[in-house]
Amino acid sequence: MVMKRIVVVSTSLRRGSNSDMLADSFVEGARAAGNEVEKISLVGKNIQFCRGCMGCQKLGKCVVKDDVNDIMAKVLEADVVCWATPIYYYEMSGQMKTLIDRMNAMYPLDYKFRDVYLLTTAADDEEETPKRAESGLCGWIDCYPESRLAGTVFCGGVNGPREIEGNVKLQEAFELGNSIK
């Protein structure tokens, strides 16, 4: 069996968040399948807005001195990327969108990831709730033509910290991670 290098980006800034717990379950499953997994939490990270200077296209990295270039380097080397985000107003979190915008330097570079996963949580539990976040992430994935959205898990009806405890969606996230071989 060939071990895959997996990067999980947990974008919630709330410690003990529901989406972070979903990410932890995915990580456990992926490790149980024998993969090398690194979870990157955005808690405490310095991620500034994109300035639109396009310097990244010439340099292959962002000119802004913060935590993005380190995160981007790990994503570029990953075989699999998993994003975890709370849904705010039927969309991915602002910090996830800001990070995606800042990773514009990746566009002309060689990348290894082929499969991308999305884990989402929200207070609203309608089936359509994560669709805009999925669409937004697919816009990023479309810039990497050898990649695809390989799977998603959505857990609605959770709002306060750790409300997801005991929810069957944690097992679903574990199984999704565990399916990566």
pLDDT surpassing 90 at residue 75 = yes
SS3 33: coil
The DSSP secondary structure of 99-139, one letter per residue, reads HHHHGGGGTTS-----EEEEEEEES---TTTTHHHHHHHHH
Task: Evaluate whether 76 touches 111 at the Cβ level (below 8 Å).
Answer: yes
pLDDT for residue 1 = 63
Residues 95-133 pLDDT 10s: 999 999 999 999 899 999 999 999 999 999 999 999 999
CATH superfamily, domain 5-178, is Flavodoxin domain (3.40.50.360)
Q: What is the pTM of this model?
A: 0.97
Residues 15-52 pLDDT 10s: 889 999 999 999 999 999 999 999 999 999 999 999 99
pLDDT grade for 76, boundaries at 50, 70 and 90: very high
* CA pair distance 51, 62, nearest whole angstrom: 10
Q: Give the residue extent of every domain in the chain.
A: 5-178
